[in-house]
Chains A and B, each alone.
Chain A
Amino acid sequence: MKTRFRVRITTAGYLYIALTLAVALAGVNTGNNLLYLCASALLALMTLSGLLSVINLLGLSVRIEPPEEIFAEVPSPFGIHLQARGWPRFFLRVRLFEGESRVLYLRDRCRVLLWVRLPRRGEVLLPPLEIYSGYPLGLFRRSRFWPVGIRLLVYPRPLPGRVPFSVRETVPASSSGARFRQPEPEEFSGLGPYREGIPASRIAWRASARTGALRMKEFEGGGGRTLILDLGPAPSEEELSRATHLILRALGEGYAVGLRLGRREIPPGRGPQKRRQLLEALAHA
C-alpha cells in the first residue's frame, strides 16, 4: 500500500526551534561550549523525537469497515481496524473527513469507530485515511495517509416536512384513517439494527440497552397500505431529501412503498431489500 508522510509543527514546536536557534547562536557568539552543549542536546532531542514519531507510524495496517447505510450529512459510524506489527504504538489519532478518534495505546490490534459525515449524496470515493500523532513530545505532528480506494453509495439526507411532490396512497377497505396511524400489532418478525428515520416508538429499548447498539422491532406484512412516491424526471435535491425521509418513515410504519422517478418505476414493497432498492434509486437520481 502506498503511503505518504507529512509533518506539521505545533506552537510548542516553533517555540522549541526558536529556543534551539537562540541557544546555538548564543553559543557561537560567546564561544561558550556549554551553550554549544545545550544546543546539541536540544537538537538531539529534536532528532530523536522525529525518529520516534516515524517509528510510531511504521508497520501499521489499516482496514476500513463502512456502515451498511450512509446518508448525506448524517454522521455514520465507520469501523477502522488497526493492526500494529512488532513494537507498541502510542497516542494515535485516526481521521477520516472530520470524523476523528484516538487510540491511547496499540499493542496488537484494535478497532475504533469514526463518526463520519459525508457531504453529498451519490457515489463517493473515500479520501485517504489519516493517522497522525504528536508522539512523543507534542512538538511536531506527523501524519500518515492510507489511500482507501473504497467507493461508497451515499443516500440523500433525510429531511422531514411537507413533500413537494405527489404521493399516491392506497388503503385497503378494512382500515381507513389518517395516513400515519399507529399500525396494528402486525406480525413481529424480530429485531434488526436501527436504521435512520425510524420513529422512536419502534426502538426496542430493552434489547438496545442490553447490546449497546440501537435495535428496532421489525414487522412484516401489515395492513396492506401502500404509498407510491411520484417524483418528476429531474427531482431537486430537496425533493430527494424529503422523499428519503418519507420512504424511511413509511417503511418504518409498515407501509409498502413504491417509487416513480421519471420513467423508472419501482413497484411497492417492504423489507430491507426493498428499502435498499428505493434508497439506491434516490442516491443515483
Chain B
Amino acid sequence: MPELRPLKVAWILAVASVVLPGGFLYRDLSPVALLFLGGVLLWIFLRERQGNLRPLGVREQVLLLLPFLLWTILTLRLETLVVRFADLLLILAGVKFLGTRTPRDILQIYLLGLLLLVAAAVWRFDLLYGAIFALETTLLISGLFFLFAAREGEKIPLALARRLALLGVLTTLGVFVLTGFYFLFLPRPQYTLFSGPFGSTGRTGLSDRVAPGEIAALQEDPSVAFRVRWLSGPRPARPYFRVYVYGNYHRGVWTALRKGRGRGARSLPGPRARVEILPQVETRALPVPGYPLEVETVRGPVAEPGPEGTVILKREVLEPALWRLTVALTPFLPAEIPPEDFLRVPRRIHPPLKRLAEGLRRSDPLQTARAVEAFLRRNYTYTLSPGSPSGEPLLWFLFSSRRGHCEYFATAMVFLLRTLGIPARVVGGYAGGQWNPFGGYYLLRERDAHTWVEVWIPGKGWMPFDPTPAPGPLRPSPFKKWRLLWDYLQFRWYYWVVEYDFLKQMRLLRHLAGGLGSRPRLRLNPSRIGLPILVIFLGLGLVACVFFLYRRRVTPVERLLREFSRYGWPRRASETLGEYLERVSRERPDLSPELRTFCELYYQEAFGGHDTRAAQEELLSRILRRLRSP
C-alpha cells in the first residue's frame, strides 16, 4: 500500500504558509528579510537535491538570528514598529527552516505564519489582505491536519492522506462560513479602549494649499481617493464634490479657508440627498456634492461644517472612517463670509488684467461670468504639462503660454472677474468621478481632482462655473466593467470587513429582527439579495461537490445483483459470482449463456484488469430485458 510521510506534507505547508504571505506583502516588507528568506529557501533546495542537508542546532540558529535582531532594534521607529516586527517574523521563520523538522518546530512555524497574518492586519486593509487571509487559513488548517497525523504515525496510507487533505479543505470552508458569522454577530464594544496610532493609508490627497502643478501631479494618479455612496436622493449627471474653498493667493499658491464655522443654512431650495463618505487618503476635509445640511460622524475623526459649505475634520483622518451627510443639491450656494471679501486682486497682476477684463464686461455679473468662461474655454488649451512658468504664473499663462491645466483656468477666471468688481473664488475638489452601479457609489480617484470657480450672483448666491475646456473624450477601457466589479469587491471588503462596526452590527441585527418579525416586504433589490443568494448557491454547490465525490457509481454487477434479488434470488456472501449465477441459471436456464458471459466479462474487469465495462452494460440490459419478458 503506498504510504506518505505526513510530517513532510506539514513541513511543505509550513514553508508555504510563511512564503506566500511574505510574497504578497513584499512591497511593505524590508528587502533584507525577503532576500534572507529567499536565500534560505534556495540553500535548502540545493542542499536537499544534493542530499546533504544538516539541520542547524539551536545555538547556531540563535547566532544566525542575532545580527538581524540587532538590526531590528537599531532601526526601530514607532511608525514602522509593526512592519519591522513582520520582517523579524520572516527572518525567524527562515532560521527555523534551517533547523530540525520535528512536529514542534513545524507548529512553531505555523505560529509564525499566523502572527504574520495578524501583523499584516495592522497595516494592510485592502482586498489583498482578504486574499492572504483566505490562503493562509487554508494552508494553516490543512497543515494542522497533517501535523496531527504526523504525531499519530510516522507514515500513513495514501488513501488516508487523501481523505485528510479533503477534510482540511472542507474544514477550511466551514471555518470561512463560521468566521463570517462570528464576525458579524459576536458582540463588540461601541468604543475602542484606546486608539493607537496604528495604520495609515499613507497617501495625501487634495491639499488645502494649491500650487500650480500640484493638481496636475494628482491627475496622473489613478488611485482611489474617496468613495461616496448614494443612500437616497437624486443623482446629478456630473457632480462636483467640493472639498476646499480657497481664499488667499500669493504668487500662484492658493490657500484654503479653514477658519470659521458654517452657519448651517436650513431653508435651502433644491432636492436633498443622503450620502456616505469613505476616505482612502489622508485628508482634512470631505468632498461634498452640494451644500451640507447635516454631518454625522459614524467612525473616525469628528467632521463638522466648515466655512462656505465645506466639511472639515478636527484632525487628519488616519484610520478607516465613515461619515454620513445630508446635502442640498442646489445650484446656488448661500454666502457665509460677506462676498465682498472675495474681491482682492494682488497689485502685481491688477494692471495687466485690466484691459483684457474690460473687454469681457457684460450687462450683469451672470452674463459677464458666462463671457469670461466662454473666452477662456475658446482661446486657451488644456494640458497637463504646461511647462514651468517664468515670472508671475498667471500672467505667464494668460499672455505667453496660453496653455495650462484647471488651476490656471480657474485662477484666470477668478481674477478677471474680481478685476471687474465681481466677487469670485477658486474651489477645489473632485469633478465627475466614476459611478459604480454594483455598489451604488461614486468612485473618486486622485485624477478626478479638479479646481473650478464660484461666482457671486447678487440676490441668488454663489454659482459654479468651470472655465477649463474638456480634456477630450475619455478612452473607454475594455476592462472597464471588470475594473468596476473589482472596485465593487474592494468597496464591499472595506464596507463590510474593514469598516464594520458596532453601529453596522446593530443595524444588521435590527434589519434581521425586522425581517423576522413582520412579513418581509417584497423589495427585490438585486444588489441586496444578490449576496445571500450567492452564498446559498455556493453552499449548495459545495454540498453537491461532496455528494458527487462520495457517491459511487452503481456498477453493472451491482445492478444485476439488485435486480435478481428483487426476483427472489439473493446472493449469499460466500458465493462467488460464478456459483451464484449458476444457481440462478438452474431456475432460468434460458438466461444461462448470457449469465455465463456476463460472469466472465465481470471477472475480466475485476480480477484481470481489462476494461469490459461497456460490454457488461450492454449485456446487462439484454439480460434484464429477457428477465422481465420470459
List residues of chain A with CB under 8 Å of any chain B CB. Answer: 12, 15, 19, 23, 26, 28-38, 40-41, 43-45, 47-49, 52, 88, 90-91, 102, 104-105, 134-138
Contact = CB atoms under 8 A, between A and B. Distances in A.
Contacts of B567: none
Q: Which of B111, B141, B175, B500 has the most CB of A within 10 A?
A: B175
B198 A32 contact: yes
Given A29-B194, A30-B192, A44 B199 contact: no
Contact of B145 (A12, A19, A23, A137): A137
Nearest to A34: B121
A55 to B, nearest CB: 11
Given A90-B164, A137-B145, A32 B199 contact: yes
B157 A105 contact: yes
A34 B498 contact: yes
B499 interface: yes
Contacts of B196: 29-30
11 contacts: A19-B114, A28-B192, A31-B501, A33-B500, A34-B129, A38-B118, A40-B179, A40-B183, A102-B153, A136-B171, A137-B144
Q: Which of A19, A28, A45 has the most CB of B within 10 A?
A: A45
Contacts of A91: 148-149, 152
B419 interface: no
A23 B181 CA distance: 17
B129 to A, nearest CB: 6
B163 interface: yes
Given A102-B152, A135-B148, A45 B192 contact: no
B557 to A, nearest CB: 21
B179 A37 contact: yes
A102 B189 CA distance: 46
A31 B195 contact: yes
A48 B173 CA distance: 11
Contacts of B370: none
A7 to B, nearest CB: 16
Interface in B104-139: 107, 111, 114, 117-118, 121-122, 124-125, 129, 133, 137
A135 B192 CA distance: 37
A125 B428 CA distance: 89
Nearest to B320: A33
A33 B503 CA distance: 13
Contacts of A52: 171
Contacts of B148: 91, 134-138
A160 B193 CA distance: 74
Q: Which of B121, B124, B163, B174 has the most CB of A within 10 A?
A: B121
Nearest to A138: B148
B182 interface: yes
B121 A138 contact: no
Contact of B163 (A43, A88, A102): A88
B298 interface: no
Nearest to B152: A91
Interface in B141-189: 141, 144-145, 147-149, 151-153, 156-157, 160, 163-164, 167, 171, 174-183, 186, 188-189
Given A35-B118, A36-B188, A52-B171, 7 more contacts: A28-B189, A30-B195, A31-B319, A32-B198, A37-B497, A40-B183, A134-B152
Mostly, the B contact residues are helix
Contacts of B177: 44
B573 to A, nearest CB: 14
Given A40-B179, A40-B186, A136-B145, A34 B497 contact: yes
A45 B141 contact: yes
Contacts of A12: 107
Nearest to B183: A40
6 closest cross-chain pairs (CB), A and B: A34-B121, A44-B178, A31-B192, A40-B182, A138-B148, A40-B183
Nearest to A102: B152
Nearest to A48: B174
B179 A41 contact: yes
Contacts of A28: 188-189, 192-193
A123 B57 CA distance: 54
B175 A41 contact: yes
Nearest to A136: B145
Contact of B122 (A32, A37, A41): A32
Contact of B156 (A29, A34, A36, A104): A104
A32 B193 CA distance: 12
A89 B121 CA distance: 37
Nearest to B192: A31
B133 A41 contact: yes
Given A91-B148, A104-B160, A138-B151, A45 B497 contact: no
Contacts of B180: 40
Contacts of A33: 183, 320, 497-501
A37 B501 contact: no
B183 A29 contact: no
A280 B135 CA distance: 65
A44 B179 contact: yes
A252 to B, nearest CB: 39
A136 B175 CA distance: 13
A28 B189 CA distance: 7
Nearest to A43: B182
Interface string B275-297: 00000000000000000000000
Contacts of B145: 136-137
Contacts of B319: 31
Given A23-B118, A38-B117, A104-B152, A44 B195 contact: no
A138 B144 contact: yes
A104 B149 CA distance: 9
